A = this chain, B = another copy of it.
Amino acid sequence: MDLASIVGFILGAGGIIFGNFLQGSTVMQLIDPIGLVIVLLGTMGATIAGNSVSSLKRAISSIKEVFFSDKVDYEGTILELINYAAKARKNGVLALESDIEASSDPFIKKALSLVIDGIEPHVLMEIMDTELSNIENFGDESIKIFDQAGGYSPTLGIIGAVLGLIHVMQHLNNPSRLGAGIAVAFTATLYGLAFANVILFPVSSKLKINLKAKVLRNELILMGIESIQNGENPRLIEEKLKSFLNESQKKAYEEKNREK
């Protein structure tokens, strides 16, 4: 469960609704189906038209990562890798075969199985780098989809506003329809801005941060695997991998290490 995202979305949407309430309006007074139709369908349409079905599916399924992504456990990953390093140094890399199954992560599994297959170091790195940039590319695609939607949404709000004003102009002498036009103009603008800034951009930002953490962890893994294949000293490998941590993570690592 990602607390920041849950608190953030509640705070953002809540702030707008609470401000509206303080003015003496109800939430119902902010709901206008016409504005909703224009902004939602328009934004969805433009976003869908400019992407492929598979990447749209991946983007939608990545939303749950915003709320339920596990914190990337750099410290545990380092301990796991040093463990492998010690074992490989003592009994050779083939001794790691039993660890592949138990490993915490598909990226480590893949890298370890290539080590055991005896793939040459530079070929292994070529394969794992492609794998990693593949992970980055697919992640970026989802992020861009939310960024695009966040770009379209306010513009469709303005399109809704203009549509409303055109309606107003055509019925200047009919006050009831005039009111409808103005309502569309304002609520469409509101929806467009709020969807983008309170939902879509924060989602994109969170996915970006999660992806960056995942990529950093995989770079740490690659440095570790490379050192294991080179048969380096586990203490040196630890020193190398700890350089990925900041001060507070280093402290957390030392604690975990002691507990072990």
Chain A residues with CB under 8 Å of chain B are 2-5, 7-16, 18-20, 22-25, 29-30, 33-35, 37-38, 40-42, 44-56, 71, 106, 114, 119, 123, 126-128, 130-131, 134-135, 137-138, 141, 148, 152, 154-156, 158-160, 162-167, 169-170, 177, 179-184, 186-187, 189-190, 193-194, 196-198, 201-206, 209, 212, 216, 223, 236, 239-240, 243-248
Contacts and interface: CB of A to CB of B under 8 A. Distances in A.
Given A42-B12, A197-B159, A166 B24 contact: no
Contacts of A123: 236, 240
A198 B4 contact: no
Given A46-B198, A205-B148, A41 B23 contact: no
21 contacts: A2-B52, A4-B48, A8-B47, A8-B48, A8-B49, A8-B50, A15-B40, A16-B41, A19-B163, A19-B184, A24-B177, A45-B198, A50-B202, A50-B203, A119-B236, A123-B240, A141-B209, A154-B155, A155-B193, A166-B186, A166-B187
Contacts of A127: 239-240, 243
Contacts of A190: 159, 162-163, 166
Contacts of A216: 137
Given A20-B163, A41-B18, A119-B236, A134 B49 contact: no
Given A127-B243, A134-B245, A170 B49 contact: no
A38 B20 CA distance: 8
Contact of A46 (B12, B56, B154): B12
B42 A198 contact: yes
A43 to B, nearest CB: 8
A218 to B, nearest CB: 13
